[in-house]
Amino acid sequence: MNQNSQPNRQDFNQYMVPVFAPAQFIPVRGEGSRLWDQQGKEYIDFAGGIAVNALGHAHPVAVKALVEQGQKLWHIGNGYTNEPVLALAKQLVDNTFADKVFFCNSGAEANEAALKLARKVGLLSGSARKNKIIAFKNAFHGRTLFTVTAGGQPKYSQDFAPLPEGIHHLPFNDLDAVREAIDADTCAVIVEPIQGEGGVITASPEFLKGLRELCDQHGAVLIFDEVQTGVGRTGALYAYMNTDVIPDILTTAKALGGGFPIGAMITTDKFANMFVVGDHGTTYGGNPLASAVANAVFGLINTPEVLNGVRTRAQIFADGLNQLNARYGLFEEIRGQGLLIGCVLKAEYAGKAKDIVTLAGEEGLLALVAGPNVVRFTPSLIIPEADIEAGLQRFERALARFVGA
């Protein structure tokens, strides 16, 4: 590539490690829930950067926070603290069950911290054998070696043996299986309130309540991975708030920065104080830039207007998608919570979700898959109703082409 030439999609194949398979077009500008590619074609964004762009693209509140902080202080390292990170920590503590926060750069890092803390809790319990972790099939917790092992999808971990030991995968929503597996050697249970990557599958209230009771009985830490469900995605600030269940540790990322990389693990004093200086860390975690943006994003989302608006928009999506399904009959179920939406293909269309998403892109709509059989939408939490309606029209054109192919 000539240094002065415009990058193109072929450059990805030439220069990038092939761990992703991006679309053939390259977005270059975004505003709200609209995007434009290199050729000026416009797209409506129902993907939201995989549940990241909670306020859409280039929201003025986030841009203002980034620019103002960018003129003050970018990075100082973990030998010092900074004002934006302390303000953000206070926001998280004041608005959740937690007493303490550990900041990092991604959901995987947040889950890594949570799992390490759980193992430390087990060790300090007085039993060197209390290191067993219960996780669930079809889960996704990240791609570090520890988190990819905790995720219950062998396709992501099988090529990287030997894997960390002591992680046991059970069927999701099967409390009897957990009851049989959990014991005095179990240090943690890690669960997503809604399995996002696994197909947009919601944990039942009875399942989550049962996990809480079993963890209490066996002295295990209950970890909620809210990387995808957190910061307003379900219509509550965090999905646990839709239940009567309070975890011991919660992980959050994605929407927390509204597009700027940041993650966090939050927990109570009881467990936070089992970590000591040097037990864990990160160079960039809680840096002033990320923290300033996250402060602005979190503060805007954590309002009745935005959270109630998620529920209103979710109903518009549900009504529109059900109408489309009545016409085309492709989906077995439209499921999810808030603006984490999964369209589950009928058996005769199994494995075709990616084909539909590709057609949607050609029609000017960004969408996602959640496994081979589910089309997933995770749009901005404040997407205008007009954009929802226009996006569903583009989705209908994609469905019509799919049926007619």
In 10 A of CB 248, how many CB atoms? Answer: 24
174 in a labelled binding site:
no
Rg (CA), the chain: 21
CA 264, CA 275: separation in Å to the nearest integer?
15
Is 228 among the annotated ligand-binding positions? Answer: yes
Q: Rounded to 10 degrees, what is the CA torsion of 286, 290, 296, 297?
A: -100
Per the DSSP assignment, residues forming a β-bridge with 375 are 343, 369
Residue 81 among known ligand-binding residues:
no
Is 143 assigned a ligand-binding role in the annotation? yes
Q: Name the percent of the chain in helix, strand, coil, to the closest 5.
A: 40, 20, 40
Residues, the chain:
405
Is 107 annotated as belonging to a binding site?
Answer: yes
Residue whose entry in the numeric block shows the structure tokens 């199994």: 350
Q: What angle do CA 327, 332, 336 make, to 5 degrees?
A: 105
Question: What is the C-alpha to C-alpha distance for residues 309 and 34, in angstroms, rounded to an integer?
Answer: 19
H or E element, residue 134: strand 132-136
**Residue 34 to residues 48, 261, 378, 381, 385: CA-CA distances in angstroms?**
10, 21, 14, 14, 13
Residue 225 annotated as binding site = yes
273 membership: H or E segment, kind and range: none
Query: CB of 257 within 8 A of CB of 66?
Result: no
Q: How far apart are CA 43 and CA 391, in angstroms?
A: 9
- Rounded to whole angstroms, the Cα distance separating 19 from 31 reads 28
* 3-state class (DSSP) for residue 222: strand
Strand, helix or coil for residue 379: coil
Q: What's the first-to-final CA gap in the chain, in angstroms?
A: 37
Whether residue 227 is annotated as binding a ligand: the answer is yes
Among 314, 328, 332, smallest CA distance to 375 is for 332
Residue numbering of the annotated binding site for pyridoxal 5'-phosphate: 107-108, 140, 225-228, 283
Residue numbering of the annotated binding site: 107-108, 140, 143, 225-228, 282-283
Residue numbering of the annotated binding site for N(2)-acetyl-L-ornithine: 143, 282
